[in-house]
């Protein structure tokens, strides 16, 4: 039986959070909870809420804390997360959201194990996001440098692979500004609570995955990490 884990991944847009979260979720057998994916799903379903979310997302703005906290709280209350844990991707991204998460974790007596900060410089992520293409069905990431095998059809699910509407140059710049202003303060916030592990996000994705797993194991099962 593989023990679960409760993880948060921080990192700029384009740092590779999505890709790495999928791998961490598989490794620790925990659900991958991506607020961006959840919102894009709501947009696709065309609900009133989805329409409202789309307006924020297309403008590159953050949704208000209370709305996004409500969505995450509901998701964290489900069986799979209370049994196994989770890897959170795209949440929290403000100090207000981090405080709300801390409260939820305290209420359920399920504290975070570690917050991983995936470090990639701004100029590098800017290049990566401009080249990013995403499956509209399953969210798998591609890039113009490594497209799917057949004509922008997703290798994983056969869905259509396109550029995200919020991946225009202007929206990317705006999201990076917001990250600096709103999300970067979380690094110090978690550091002062002794929960932060900074991980170099440059290099081959497999190497980055190894670094992340090592950091998690060091926190949660030190004996095992030392034997790797
Ligand atoms: P990126 O990290 O590239 O901006 P995401 O897929 O994580 O992409 O999020 C897309 C959009 O969804 C964000 O720009 C924002 O509008 C909204 N969003 C996602 N997560 C949050 C959050 N925790 N708080 C507020 N808004 C969010
Ligand atoms: Zn797909």
95, HSE (Cβ side, Cα atoms, 13 Å): 12
Is there an atom of ligand 1 within 6 Å of 91 CB? yes
What is the pTM (predicted TM-score) of this model? Answer: 0.89
- The answer to whether the beta carbons of residues 15 and 201 sit under 8 Å apart is yes
pLDDT at 227 over 80: no
Q: For residue 213, how many other CB atoms are within 10 A of its CB?
A: 17
Candidates 12, 128, 132, 219; catalytic one: 132
171-183 confidence digits (pLDDT tens): 889 889 999 999 9
Distance spanning both ends of the chain, measured CA to CA: 19
83 is catalytic: no
C-alpha separations of 108 from 46, 76, 80, 93 in Å? 33, 10, 14, 21
pLDDT at 226 over 60: no
The protein residue whose alpha carbon is closest to atom 10 in ligand 1 is: 36
Is there an atom of ligand 1 within 6 Å of 67 CB? no
- What structural domains does the chain harbor? 5-120+195-226 (3.40.50.300)
88-122 confidence digits (pLDDT tens): 999 999 999 999 999 999 888 889 999 999 999 99
115-162 confidence digits (pLDDT tens): 999 999 999 999 999 999 999 988 888 999 999 999 999 999 999 999
175 is catalytic: yes
């Amino acid at each position: 039986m593989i023990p679960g884990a409760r993880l948060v991944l921080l990192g700029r847009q384009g740092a590779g959070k999505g890709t790495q979260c999928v791998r961490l979720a598989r490794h620790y057998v925990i659900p991958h909870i991506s607020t961006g994916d959840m919102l894009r799903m709501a947009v696709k379903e065309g609900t009133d809420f989805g329409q409202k979310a789309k307006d924020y997302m297309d403008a590159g703005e953050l949704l208000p804390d209370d709305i996004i906290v409500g969505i995450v709280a509901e998701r964290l209350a489900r069986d799979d997360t209370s049994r196994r844990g989770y890897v959170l991707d795209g949440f929290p991204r403000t100090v207000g959201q981090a405080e709300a998460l801390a409260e939820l974790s305290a209420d359920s007596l399920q504290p975070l194990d570690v917050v991983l900060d995936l470090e990639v410089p701004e100029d590098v992520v800017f290049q990566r996001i401009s080249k990013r293409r995403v499956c509209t069905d399953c969210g798998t990431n591609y890039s113009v440098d490594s497209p799917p095998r057949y004509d922008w059809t997703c290798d994983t699910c056969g869905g259509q692979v396109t550029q995200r509407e919020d991946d225009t140059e202007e929206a990317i710049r705006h999201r990076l500004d917001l990250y600096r202003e709103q999300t970067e303060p979380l690094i110090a916030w978690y550091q002062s609570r002794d929960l932060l592990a900074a991980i170099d996000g440059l290099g081959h994705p497999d190497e980055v995955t190894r670094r992340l797993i090592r950091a998690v194991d060091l926190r949660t099962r030190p004996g095992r990490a030392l034997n790797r």
